[in-house]
Amino acid sequence: MSRQQRQTLDDLLRHGPLDLGGDVAEQRAVFHDMMTSLPLPPDVSTTAGELGGVPVVTVETPANDPATVLLYLHGGAYAIGSAADAAGLAGDVARRTGARAVCVDYRLAPENPYPAAVDDALAVYRALLDDGVPSSAIAFVGESAGGGLAVATLVAAKDAGLPQPSSAAVFSPWADLSVSGNSVVGKAAVDPALTPEGLRTRARDYLRDTDPATPHASPVFADLTGLVPLLIQVGSHEILLDDAVRLAARAAEHDVHVELQVWPQVPHVFQAFAVMLDEADAALQAAAAFTRAHWATTDATDEELPASKESVVPQ
Average pLDDT, the chain: 93
Question: In which region does residue 71 sit, left (phi positive, over 0), alpha (psi from -120 to 50) or beta (all else)?
Answer: beta
pLDDT of residue 2: 82
Q: Answer for the pair 88, 143: CB distance below 8 angstroms, yes or no.
A: no
Res. 58: pLDDT tops 50: yes
Digit-coded pLDDT (tens) for 206-216:
999 999 999 99
pLDDT of residue 298: 57
Residues 225, 222: Cα–Cα separation, whole Å: 9
pLDDT of residue 270: 96
Work out the average pLDDT over 72-97.
97
Res. 290: pLDDT tops 80: yes
pLDDT of residue 300: 42
pLDDT of residue 42: 94
Work out the average pLDDT over 258-277.
96
Q: Which of 286, 293, 22, 32 is nearest to 171 (CA)?
A: 286
Angle, helices 278-296/3-14, rounded to nearest 10 degrees: 100
Digit-coded pLDDT (tens) for 115-166:
999 999 999 999 999 999 999 999 999 999 999 999 999 999 999 999 999 9
Indicate which CATH number applies to the domain containing 47: 3.40.50.1820
Res. 312: pLDDT tops 50: no
Q: Answer for the pair 67, 135: CB distance below 8 angstroms, yes or no.
A: no
Res. 309: pLDDT tops 80: no
Q: What domain range includes position 47?
A: 3-312
pLDDT of residue 148: 98
pLDDT of residue 72: 98
Res. 222: pLDDT tops 60: yes
Q: How many domains does the chain have?
A: 1
Band of residue 100 on the pLDDT scale cut at 50, 70, 90: very high
The dihedrals phi and psi of 231, each to the nearest 5 degrees, come to -115, 125
- Judged on CB neighbours under 10 Å (0-12, 13-18, 19+), 312 is exposed
pLDDT of residue 305: 40
What dihedral angle (degrees, nearest 10) is formed by the CA atoms of 216, 218, 222, 225? Answer: 80
Indicate which residues carry an active-site annotation. Answer: 144, 238, 268
Question: In which region does residue 314 sit, left (phi positive, over 0), alpha (psi from -120 to 50) or beta (all else)?
Answer: beta
Q: Answer for the pair 80, 27: CB distance below 8 angstroms, yes or no.
A: yes
Digit-coded pLDDT (tens) for 16-51:
999 999 999 999 999 999 988 889 999 999 999 999
Query: Strand 99-104 to strand 230-235: parallel, antiparallel, or no bridges (unpaired)?
Result: unpaired
Q: Considering the chain, what percentage of its residues have pLDDT values greater than 90?
A: 90
Res. 259: pLDDT tops 80: yes
pTM score: 0.93
